[in-house]
Chains A and B, each alone.
Chain A
Amino acid sequence: MSEKNERQLRIVGFLCNWCSYGGADTAGVCRFKQPPLLRIIRIPCTGRMDPLFVVKALAQGADGVLVSGCHPKDCHYAVGNFYARRRLELVKRFLPFVGLDPRRFHYTWVSASEGQRWQEVVTEFSAVIQELGPNPGIGADTPMETAGQAASAFA
């Protein structure tokens, strides 16, 4: 494990239940190795994805945010990801304006069968985040008070 004073980097993943969460499962079943940065939050559809989640996560110091859903035209709910991609692209373009690094936010589309692709997505994005290092967030006057840090004490 990393040195005590070097904070463990974390990527928050928002994955739709039907495609990308399944794709991440498929990658696991196939034993496709991935860096251990990602923590996945399961949502029903990327249409559920409020762009505020992205902003809040990054403001709170998440080192990366990854959103993935069904490929456009394959949404389980037909059109959820059509709405989502507009919102996600908008927030992606907005982040740098307020001093949040847009490279820390990535959105993509991975189907339940694309285990390999999922491995690539996670590996590539993790490398970007490793390169960028810890995210200071916004107004980092709040002490870290999370499982993250508490758990870092382990090992």
Chain B
Amino acid sequence: MDTLHAHLEALFDDLELVIGWETGYEPLRPTPAFLRSREDLSRLVWNPLCAPNLSVYLPGILKDAKETGKKIGVCLKGCDSRSLGALVQEGFVERERLYVVGLPCPGTVDPEALAEARKSSAPVTHVSFRDGLLAITSRDGTEEIELERVLARRCRRCRHPNPLHADVILGDPVPPRRTEPSFSDVDAVEAMSLEERRAYWEEELSRCLRCYACRNACPLCVCRDRCLAESRTPKWTTQRDGVRDKFLFHMIHALHLAGRCTECGECERVCPVGIPVALFKEKMARIALELWDYQAGTDPAATPPLQTFDPSETGI
């Protein structure tokens, strides 16, 4: 934390803006911070509650930013940095306009798991993190909770805790929880029969509000307010409140992420009704891996597999 502040402090004259996290309405929920003055830097926080993937803001901010010659500083976790890689691959972000502060990430917290693990339910006044332990302070005192117990699903399968494509890495490297791609949650769905899977998704998706939070949080959902799911011409979905249209929206999202998803899990994290929507994209990522040995966002020079072809490909 201190290194983060000190590092940005020293560099601040060369930066137009710093994107990081700050304490939100409570310390449990850090929110994205967009800092333009040196004094504001002190507001930055960095701990396992800093869940939002900040790369989602980069295309819009770079588009609107004036060319001052100054760079835009951004703090990225490992998974966030893969999203940046994919955005660079697709030309949405000019890497040279950024100053990327890579933060090796011990994992992020699943808020529901944390709420269950806490003994107290009093409002939190302070949070700190050290040696795998979260220290949560409220008027009931400070309780220590192992991060591993309250880890978000996405972080349990994380292979990239250490940021890629960064200008600087602040902090010691974190040993990855996984060295090989892990799709155990996808496997769990696939263990069901076809009929059960259909029923499972119909049940899960029946809760969908079509609030589009999953889409808005997705760094690779580059259509933004031009989303096909809301388009009148062409009209792929209706506004009818039925499972079929909800399903179609999620299929649009999943197919648009095919061969592009960097598995940051933001879509699922932000879902207000707890639908495991990231599983669709994890399945897509697995197919891309199987078919083309491709992992989005790891190589900024690579072409996404659906944007190219190989005449010598056989078996498909």
A and B interact: yes
Residues of A that sit less than 8 Å from B by CB: 51-52, 55-56, 59-60, 72-73, 79, 82-83, 85-91, 93-94, 96-101, 136-142
Give 11 pairs: A residue, B residue, CB < 8 Å, sorted on A.
A51-B255, A56-B251, A83-B309, A86-B306, A86-B313, A94-B283, A94-B287, A99-B194, A138-B244, A139-B245, A141-B242
Question: Do A98 and B251 touch (CB < 8 A)?
Answer: yes
Can you name 9 extra interface pairs (CB under 8 A) apart from A52-B251, A99-B196?
A59-B251, A79-B309, A85-B316, A87-B258, A90-B284, A94-B283, A99-B197, A138-B201, A139-B246
- A99 close to B313 (CB less than 8 A): no
Across the interface, do A139 and B197 meet the contact criterion of CB distance under 8 Å? Answer: no
A59 / chain B contacts, CB cutoff of 8 Å: 244, 247-248, 251
Residue of A nearest to B202 (CB): A139
A139 touches B310 (CB 8 A): no
Q: Are B306 and A142 in contact (CB-based, < 8 A)?
A: no
B129 located at the interface, meaning its Cβ lies under 8 Å from any Cβ of chain A in the complex? no
Residues B181-204 near A (CB distance < 8 A): 186, 189-190, 194-202
Complex Cα spacing A141 to B245, Å: 11
State whether A98 touches B201 (Cβ < 8 A): yes
> Out of A79, A90, A99, which one reaches B259, CB within 8 Å?
A90
Interface residues on B, range: 35 or more
CA distance A51 to B290 in the complex (A): 18
Looking at the complex, which one of B199, B242, B283, B305 makes contact with A86 (CB distance below 8 Å)? B305
Q: 4 shortest A-B CB distances, which residue pairs?
A: A99-B198, A139-B243, A82-B309, A139-B244
Q: Which residues of A contact B244 (CB under 8 A)?
A: 59-60, 137-142
Known: A55-B255, A86-B305, A138-B247. A97 touches B197 (CB 8 A): yes
Main DSSP-derived SS at the A contact region: helix
Name the A residues within 8 Å of B205 (CB-CB): 139
Residues of chain A within 8 A (CB-CB) of B288 are 90
Is there an interface contact between B197 and A98, defined as CB atoms closer than 8 Å? yes
Query: Counting CB contacts under 8 A, is B57 at the interface?
Result: no
| B residues neighboring A (CB under 8 Å) | 186, 189-190, 194-202, 205, 236, 240, 242-248, 251-252, 254-255, 258-259, 279-280, 283-284, 287-288, 290-292, 305-306, 309-311, 313, 316
Instruction: Give the distance to chain B from A61, nearest Cβ to Cβ, in Å.
Output: 9
Partner of A56, one of B196, B202, B248: B248
Q: How far is the CA of A72 from the CA of B284 in the complex (A)?
A: 24
Residues A72 and B198 in contact, CB atoms below 8 Å apart = no
When the two chains form their complex, are residues A101 and B194 in contact, meaning their CB atoms are under 8 A apart?
Answer: yes
Q: Evaluate whether A97 and B280 lie within 8 angstroms (CB atoms) in the complex, with A59-B247, A142-B244 already known.
A: yes
Q: Is the CB of B236 within 8 A of A52?
A: yes
- Could you tell me the distance between the alpha carbons of A87 and B284 in the complex, rounded to whole angstroms? 11
- Complex interface: chain A residues within 8 A of B255 (CB): 51-52, 55, 91, 94
Q: Which residue of B lies closest to A141 (CB)?
A: B242
Q: Is the CB of B291 within 8 A of A90?
A: yes
Asked if A99 and B201 sit within 8 Å, CB to CB, the answer is yes
Contact partner of A96 among B194, B280, B309, B313, CB < 8 A?
B194
With A and B bound together, what is the CA distance between A98 and B255 in angstroms? 12
Q: Which listed residue (B186, B198, B258) contacts A90, Cβ 8 A?
A: B258
